Amino acid sequence: MGKITKTRHPSKIEQYNIESLTKGILSFDIPSLARAITLIESNLEKHLGLSQTLLHRILPFTGNSIRIGITGAPGVGKSTFIESFGTYLCEIGKKVAILAIDPTSSVSKGSVLGDKTRMERLSRYPNAFIRPSPSGGALGGVARKTRETILLCEAAGFDVIIVETIGVGQSEIVVRSMVDFFLLLIPPGGGDELQGFKKGSVEIADAIIVNKADGNNIHLANITKQEYLQALRYLLPATEGWTTAVLTASALENLGIEDVWKIIQDFVDNTKNSGAFDRRRKEQSLNWMHLLLRDYILDSFYRHSKVKAILNEMELDVLNGKITPTAAFRKIIYSMKNENFIGFE
């Protein structure tokens, strides 16, 4: 078995021809795009270098899409909505890429988002590209891969890039940090939850869509919409100069889908004119670099053999009340000053 892996491995690495991948991506060749994403998702050191070369080549062709984040609790209708919305966009001639960040896929093997059986109708459109969430690894790594995938999709010529996630933990904040426009899907009813856990999601949304506004739910959906409009009056807008929109829609019956696109176009016109659009993108790029630096430094620090050794000792001393946490922290840092560790030179 070992032998098979050894002989197959190098040829797999050599498969990536950056020149032809670049050409393929720039001419909207979907198999090339998919291969490039696989390269970016690889954790092999050799692939990291190659993928950066590729990204460097395509960078001048990026930045021209509208990046939309979509969140909502499981069952609220995200995939149904994305299918309707994506289909609408394809019908009006747009090229649409759907990416996902699924925090559950790194915890367990099962994924809530992005499996292939979802969005079957949309996947039949040649202008639609659906890519499941990169699996495994910490959220930081998944985020890096998704950010770079956005760049690849833009170079390929996608007009709209949708990044889907579920309202769990940090994943919404991570998606907010890589998109221009952030959409929150909610079900009819439950406006009273606004005081609690939903507030965080509402605060970062540029539009809130009360989905499932059909059949017997229409009245309730309108009440929910009013409740959210009221509550938003007391919150700061998620984007400077933009008033968070609240709409009702039915993903299942294709109602209100066009209005969502109108709102997004309004948002883009508005924020491009005011400069807020470009400012956010620039901030996002800088924050991304700093995040990478922070992750790298933290990781190297905790992996350092000297840190590992002294950390155990200090943890015990803190637990046994022998030393204060501050004194322990100072001892650890002091011991690293002699190690030429990055950041302590």
Write the binding mask 181 to 220 for ligand GDP: x where contact by CB under 6 A, - elsewhere. ------------------------------xx-x------
Number of residues that bind ligand GDP (CB under 6 A): 14
Stretch that binds ligand GDP, among 69-77, 148-156, 277-285, 315-323 (CB under 6 A): 69-77
Please identify, using beta-carbon distances, which residue of 131 and 212 lies nearer to ligand GDP: 212
Stretch that binds ligand GDP, among 16-24, 32-40, 77-85, 122-130 (CB under 6 A): 77-85
Residue burial 78-115, b: 16+ Cβ < 10 Å; e: rest = bbbbbbbbbbbbbeeebbbbbbbbbbbbbeeeebbbbb
Least separation in angstroms between CB 239 and ligand GDP: 24
Task: Candidates 250, 260, 301, 336: give the one binding ligand GDP (CB under 6 A).
Answer: 250
Least separation in angstroms between CB 82 and ligand GDP: 8
Q: Is 282 exposed, middle or buried (0-12, 13-18, 19+ CB in 10 A)?
A: exposed
Distance, in Å, from the CA atom of 129 to the CA atom of 124, rounded to the nearest integer, reads 9
Task: Candidates 35, 67, 78, 145: give the one binding ligand GDP (CB under 6 A).
Answer: 78
Distance, in Å, from the CA atom of 163 to the CA atom of 176, rounded to the nearest integer, reads 9
Contact 25, 155 (CB under 8 A): yes
Please identify, using beta-carbon distances, which residue of 102 and 227 lies nearer to ligand GDP: 102
The residues, any chain, with a CB within 8 Å of residue 84's CB and separated by 6 or more, are 251, 252, 254, 257
* DSSP E strand stretches across 102-228: 128-130, 160-165, 181-186, 207-210
**Residue 165, interface with ligand GDP (CB under 6 A)?**
no
Residues engaged in binding ligand GDP (CB under 6 A): 72, 74-80, 211-212, 214, 250-252
